[in-house]
Amino acid sequence: MDEFPDDPGSFKNHLRKEVPVIAGTLNQRRPELQQWQRDFGGARGKDLLEVFSNVLDFREDWSKSRPESVYATHDDPAAFGLDPLDDDEGMMLIKVIGMGIKSIVLYHLDARIFPQRARTDLYGLYFLSGMQDFGLASHSSEFLMINDREPASNGSLIMEHNFWYPYGLFSMYALRIFRWLQTKVQASGGSLDTHVRHVFVAHFLAGVCSGHVEHMKTMRAHDRFEIPA
């Protein structure tokens, strides 16, 4: 990061080529990604550099206050103190860099304390919760966003993951899942490495989704469905 301030344009090229979540999304040809691809193309390298510099600065300070002895005890969204990642305008670029991309970057930097909050992770929580709405006025799940403005070509409404789901709340659920996985593994005489705890969580949630392929086909609309990686 120290090399980029003198040439912010090179940082944008770096994101485009070297950061898989961005490079992969730019290379996909799905219709629903075209607007994001145009927005990324129009974003200034200076703005992208500022956002990621702020995110990494936050990560450094936040990590110092979350040694394992502290982090492992968290069981309330407020305890995580992650709201700035959701809300601080200096750590987002509207329509371009949101919590999904930020969480994936942070996860790859430190999977001990940062879970990824991508599509399969929220879909996984949706399936684990029995696909119930728990009394929400919308009669939909908190983990989903129903796109009723842009139906698919067959008239279906897309049931997308909730892009705005609070990262602190998601982190609480992810940590609870890891604790549950750890108890199951320990009961069999093994143990999970806490240094990569959220890798186990991500793979578990992806596994949950793999058991609901037909549901996901319907949710994403058959003509736009791709099995998530």
Residue 53: its pLDDT value, please? 97
Q: What is the pTM of this model?
A: 0.90
Residue 154: its pLDDT value, please? 63
Give the mean pLDDT of 191-197: 97
**225 pLDDT above the threshold of 60:** no
Residue 155: its pLDDT value, please? 65
Return d(Cα 25, Cα 14) in angstroms, integer: 14
Q: pLDDT grade, residue 143 (50/70/90)?
A: very high
* Alpha helices, H only, 28-129: 34-42, 45-64, 68-71, 77-80, 83-87, 99-109, 119-128
**109 pLDDT above the threshold of 90:** yes
**15 pLDDT above the threshold of 60:** yes
Give the mean pLDDT of 58-79: 97
**227 pLDDT above the threshold of 60:** no
Name 130's Cβ contacts closer than 8 Å, sequence gap at least 6. Answer: none
Q: 163-181: per-residue pLDDT in tens?
A: 999 999 999 999 999 999 9
**216 pLDDT above the threshold of 90:** no
SS3 content of the chain, % helix, strand, coil (to 5): 60, 5, 35
